[in-house]
A and B are shown apart, each in its own frame.
Chain A
Amino acid sequence: MSVTMTNSAADRVRAFLESRGKGVGLRLGVRPSGCSGMAYVLEFTDNIEEVDEVFEDHGLKIIIDKKSLLYLNGTELDYTKEGLNEGFKFNNPNISGECGCGESFTV
């Protein structure tokens, strides 16, 4: 099982963690919600819990709870610009359908 980041995502995560001044890493996850079943969670995290798996990529810790990992295994986190808008994007091989905006998905 693994989850990775592109170079551009890693650069941004590192910068944001630095600007925040604390935190052990980046938490990825899923939770039930929304128009198409599941929604992504993307958060700073200050604690690693017992139920978490920790991956290391580009020298950064990616923390995912075991339950979310089932839905995120093989995912690559990317950072892209679309016009004036910019942000993170999940390239998740597990999904079978997305809502129009891609913010929620089904496996």
Chain B
Amino acid sequence: MALLQISEPGQSTAPHQHKLAVGIDLGTTNSLVATVRSGHAETLADEGGENLLPSVVRYLSDDSIVVGANALRAAATDPLNTVISVKRFMGRGIDDIKTIGSQLPYEFVTRDSGSKMPYIKTIAGEKSPVQISAEILKTLRQRAEKSLGGDLLGSVITVPAYFDEAQRQATKAAAELAGLNVFRLLNEPTAAAIAYGLDSGAEGDIVVFDLGGGTFDISVLRLNKGVFEVLATAGDTALGGDDFDMALVNWLIEQSRPGELNHKLLRELTNAAKTAKEQLTDTEYYQFDLALSNGVQWQGGLNRETFNNLVMPLVQSTLKPCRQALRDAGIDKNNVLQIVMVGGSTRVPLVREKIGEFFGQQPLVDIDPDRVVAIGAALQADILAGNKPESEMLLLDIIPLSLGLETMGGLVEKIIPRNTTIPIARAQEFTTYKDGQTAIAIHIVQGEREVVDDCRSLARFELRGIPPMVAGAARVEVSFQVDADGLLSVTALEKTSGVSSHIEVKPSYGLSETEIENMLLSSFDNAESDLALRKLREQQVEADREILALEAALAEDADVMLNAEELSMIQSALTELKATRKIDDADAIKASIENVEKVCDFYVQKRMNQNIEKAMSGHKLEDFEK
């Protein structure tokens, strides 16, 4: 069975209509997908429990594509077909890329002279940055759909604040290619601020300090009337956690003297450095125990102070862009309302300390800095998908009372339940009750009760011209549509013949608040009796249908199919059913119906066999095997 999540009051969705929405942080080094479940925003992990998806795409000769950690592992052995940091190429022309990527291994080509769109030559053909990014997004989309158990209604994808129109368009195109509906793109620093709930906080200026694996961005945002404006951005596209690792690797080489360096050794040292860096976030001392692949062994300690001295120049170099951004924004560092920390490298205690000193206040660090952007995007997506109550989003109107129509036995079939937001359209299929029925009366009612008499009648109309068919063969689709102004239009369409009929009403017309409230309350007061009445009416309708069908059958062929004894048995069961039908006892009627069905079982079988014989006579068996 499908698993459910807790909704905000009044926001429960109809079955199969869950408004699933995700936020995606499409990063240079890593990407993440997050969603809001039961009111709680969280990133979604893959089967291995990993939240971060390395933004790496590898193309193989058999046209298969590997994305993520497995692709990253092949980067050293298959550099030409393994694309890393594709985000740097998004929306760029071939000339731009030549300047930013002179040391890149990839072979860039353009397709025709008119377009400057660069393609990367891979073993599986030429791939554009949009196509490569789409593979990353597709992987995240699939992960989200598996985690949420359904198709996504839409997504919010984050982009750096400094992305220009072409880069944003390219990101959107990649999302569409990945089969994602994009509610909107969101600036990364804005997403981080939303994750901390700053959008509903005091108005003022916010600094977002984003130190990732390979890039550093600083943004100054101004919150004004609930809208974030980007005042200034600055940064360094070649500064990040990787540089911290390199500083540590250089120290390790000095200390351990591993001899002649190669790629493999360098990777081993880098991994050791990464582990040490992560450990030193929480501890003051780290003990190395190196056993390198060339046989070199080394033991030694590193305390946080030495580590801080190693990375100090890197941390200091983030302050210059900070000053630059503040100057561009025209604000004083002492007037900043909040500092938001984003990116894994902001876990390094020295970074937090220096930034705290620089701005004279403690930065916000409670939310995992790797996930904070995705979480903010998920919160925004949740609102845009319509999962938040009225007060937190665009003003939406709701239907105060359920809208439905009368079915056999004076029962109400609700088509649009109350509290549904408008505009809305819902359809349901009905069928005919009697053989040869050529018209259906449609009675539209409003209210919460089970029986028509207790609901408010809104309108009646008829669908005529249904071709004569046996009962149950006609397919009448009745659709209810309520537009943004609350105007209800009901259409009935017989699908096999195409005949249709239509009416318009204004359902809320003439109803006061108190009347609506009374109608609601009475449905609660009478819940138990309504339910019993509904059960009774359903059995009565079933009994009537049974009587009608049996009488029609008997009139048609009782004389040839049944002997006198059989006929009298059936007729006495029928008489009994007719009698119980008149008593208001659902269980008794049900028992009588079952009795009739039991008695008539052989007769039904006989008739069915005869019908099949009739249908098959004059045909060969092969005719049916086609």
- A contact residues vs B (CB 8 Å cutoff): 12-13, 15-16, 19-20, 26-27, 29, 31-35, 39-47, 51, 65-67, 70, 80, 82-90, 98-99, 101-104
Contact = CB atoms under 8 A, between A and B. Distances in A.
Contacts of B143: 84
A88 B15 contact: no
B5 A42 contact: yes
A40 B521 contact: no
Nearest to B527: A67
12 contacts: A27-B9, A34-B14, A39-B14, A42-B12, A43-B6, A43-B10, A67-B523, A80-B3, A83-B146, A84-B143, A86-B147, A103-B16
Given A15-B40, A103-B16, A87 B3 contact: yes
B252 to A, nearest CB: 38
Interface residues of B, number: 37
Contacts of A33: 14-15, 414, 417
A32 B3 contact: no
Contact of A16 (B9, B16, B39, B402): B39
Q: Which among A16, A26, A43 has the greatest number of chain B C-beta atoms within 10 A? A: A43
B149 interface: yes
A61 to B, nearest CB: 13
Main secondary structure of the interface of B (DSSP, over half): loop
Contacts of B2: 87, 101-103
A41 B9 CA distance: 10
A85 B16 contact: no
Q: Which among B1, B14, B146, B521 has the greatest number of chain A C-beta atoms within 10 A? A: B1
Interface of B: 1-12, 14-16, 37-40, 44-47, 143, 146-149, 402, 414, 417, 521, 523-524, 527-528, 531
Contacts of B45: 84
Contacts of A19: 39-40
Contacts of B149: 82, 85, 87
Contacts of A65: 524
Contacts of A85: 3, 146-149
A44 B6 contact: yes
A102 B2 CA distance: 6
Given A32-B417, A85-B147, A43 B3 contact: no
Contacts of A26: 6
Given A16-B38, A103-B15, 12 more contacts: A16-B40, A29-B12, A32-B417, A33-B414, A42-B7, A43-B10, A44-B7, A44-B39, A51-B524, A87-B3, A87-B5, A104-B15
